[in-house]
Amino acid sequence: MTRKLVLASNNAGKLKEFNELLATVDFSAHPQGEFGVPEAEEPFFTFVENALAKARHASRLTGLPALADDSGVCVNALGGAPGVFSARYAGEPKSDARNNEKLVAELAKHEDKSAYYYCVLVFVRHADDPQPVIADGRWNGVMMPEPRGEGGFGYDPYFHVPELGKRAAELSKEEKNRLSHRGQALRALVEKLK
């Protein structure tokens, strides 16, 4: 019997990607908007604390098990920035164009352009679950000063994948899911849930 869980997101792409793998452990994810759950605050400085806060928030308001992720790009020369602030690196309102512009300007001062995408997934059985299931994934690359590719979102046009000689925005959906930080974290989470 398939069990329902709430995904602490309304991102349709994420929902589809998550459901493909969650089906193997008899879960079906439903976006929090389906239950009228507003976005949770993300006040923390670590990915795991933000993901846990989002999962507990969604579970508390629905009474269902919940899954949340927090992810971003971390640039080594910038001490891990933008990190948890990736979506709002250039301030409010959120803007991929302004975020990328700021990152390219910051990186121009540095020789080291190495970076990685990082993702943490947190699954809670209930809002006060004392043992959340946590999985993470890391995808190494290099930030480039000019964009390439039409796919993906966020920093993908600037995130170069050396082993493929392509930007994340140039990869097929299948390639990206296989390699990405989120794909890695999701596969690790599914193994733990088994």
The single residue of 69, 70, 136, 156 carrying the catalytic annotation is 70
Phi-psi map region of 121: left, alpha, beta (phi>0 left; psi -120 to 50 alpha): beta
Whether 26 is catalytic: no
Contact status, residue 56 vs residue 6, Cβ threshold 8 Å: no
Contact status, residue 76 vs residue 141, Cβ threshold 8 Å: no
**Residue 123 CB partners (closer than 8 Å, separation 6+):** 5, 55, 65, 66, 67, 132, 133, 134, 189, 193
Contact status, residue 188 vs residue 137, Cβ threshold 8 Å: yes
- 10: its two tokens: 């309304």
**Residue 72 CB partners (closer than 8 Å, separation 6+):** 47, 82, 83, 84, 85, 86, 87, 117, 118
- 143: its two tokens: 């930030």
Q: Residue 18: exposed, middle, or buried by beta-carbon count in 10 A (0-12, 13-18, 19+)?
A: buried
Please give the positions annotated as active site.
Answer: 70
